[in-house]
């Protein structure tokens, strides 16, 4: 905890002093983010860092395994954030970002000790689904794991379509959905619907 507090002092001394005008401007107006970023709670995945974003650019939702429960699901906090971002903030992009070596997705594959982690077990059981290729036990576990990470991102994009506000703005051409997988080594792949696979991003095709 001392390290975190020392870090905050360094933040105030270095960043806040150098960015005081920007921060005052940011605080004086309503937020206007470019995108809703739905990512994993994993401590190694920092949305603002991997996108080189400044404060105010991303509206961020993070949870175990970057899950988006369908709109009728009782876990409403994610749904509330989606509706707020789309309706109140008017974001034009929603990014669902998984990452390599995701422990939440591994729990989907291997199971969870429901006695010790009942909330996690229920979250994964109720909010996640796993496609058949990830369940193909003839494949090595690491390959199944990576397939599951990618498929999980696409599943959550499907779940986004169950939200009326999302479906409406997609139909109007005012919203775009993106599936990403962040590599913990620093790389990124994005889902290309024409190729039906994850590829390295190109600024020319975005």
Q: How far apart are CA 151 and CA 133, in angstroms?
A: 9
* 20 and 87 co-located in one domain: no
* 73 and 113 co-located in one domain: yes
Range of the domain at 23: 1-30
Q: At 177, is the secondary structure helix, strand, or coil?
A: strand
Over residues 60-88, the pLDDT tens digits come to 999 999 999 999 876 689 999 999 999 99
* 70 and 171 co-located in one domain: yes
pLDDT category of residue 203 using cuts at 50, 70 and 90: confident
Q: Taking 90 as the threshold, does the pLDDT of residue 102 lie above it?
A: yes
* 10 and 42 co-located in one domain: no
* 129 and 187 co-located in one domain: yes
* 60 and 5 co-located in one domain: no
Average pLDDT, the chain: 92
Over residues 10-58, the pLDDT tens digits come to 988 988 888 889 999 989 999 999 999 999 999 999 999 999 999 999 9
CB atoms closer than 10 angstroms to residue 140: 9
Query: What pLDDT is attached to residue 16?
Result: 87
* 141 and 198 co-located in one domain: yes
Query: What pLDDT is attached to residue 159?
Result: 95
Q: Is the pTM of this model over 0.85?
A: yes
* 79 and 21 co-located in one domain: no
pLDDT category of residue 98 using cuts at 50, 70 and 90: very high
Q: How many domains does the chain have?
A: 2
* 44 and 23 co-located in one domain: no
Q: Taking 80 as the threshold, does the pLDDT of residue 144 lie above it?
A: yes
* 114 and 72 co-located in one domain: yes
Question: Which spans in the chain are helix H?
Answer: 2-11, 17-18, 20-28, 47-50, 76-83, 103-110, 118-127, 141-160, 164-171
Q: Taking 50 as the threshold, does the pLDDT of residue 141 lie above it?
A: yes
Q: Taking 60 as the threshold, does the pLDDT of residue 205 lie above it?
A: no
* 164 and 76 co-located in one domain: yes
Lowest mean pLDDT: which of 25-29, 137-141, 164-168?
A: 137-141
Q: How far apart are CA 166 and CA 196, in angstroms?
A: 22
Percentage of residues in the chain with pLDDT exceeding 70? 92
The CATH number for 188's domain is: 3.40.1050.10
């Amino acid at each position: 905890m001392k390290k975190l507090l020392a870090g905050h002092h360094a933040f105030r001394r270095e960043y806040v002093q150098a960015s005081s005008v920007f921060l005052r401007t940011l605080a004086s107006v309503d937020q206007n983010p470019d995108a809703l970023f739905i990512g994993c709670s994993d401590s190694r995945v920092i949305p603002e860092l991997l996108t080189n974003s400044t404060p105010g650019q991303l509206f961020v939702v993070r949870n175990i395994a970057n899950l988006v429960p369908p709109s009728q699901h009782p876990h409403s906090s994610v749904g509330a954030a989606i509706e707020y971002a789309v309706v109140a903030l008017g974001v034009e992009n929603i990014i669902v970002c998984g990452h390599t070596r995701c422990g939440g997705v591994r729990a989907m594959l291997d199971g969870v000790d429901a006695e010790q982690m009942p909330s996690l077990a229920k979250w994964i059981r109720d909010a996640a689904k796993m496609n058949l290729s990830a369940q193909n036990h003839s494949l090595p576990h690491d390959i199944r794991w990576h397939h599951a990470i990618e498929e999980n991102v696409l599943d959550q994009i499907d779940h986004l379509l169950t939200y009326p506000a999302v479906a409406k703005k997609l139909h109007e051409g005012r919203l775009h959905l993106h599936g990403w997988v962040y590599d913990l080594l620093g790389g990124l792949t994005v889902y290309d619907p024409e190729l039906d696979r994850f590829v390295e991003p190109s600024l020319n095709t975005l």
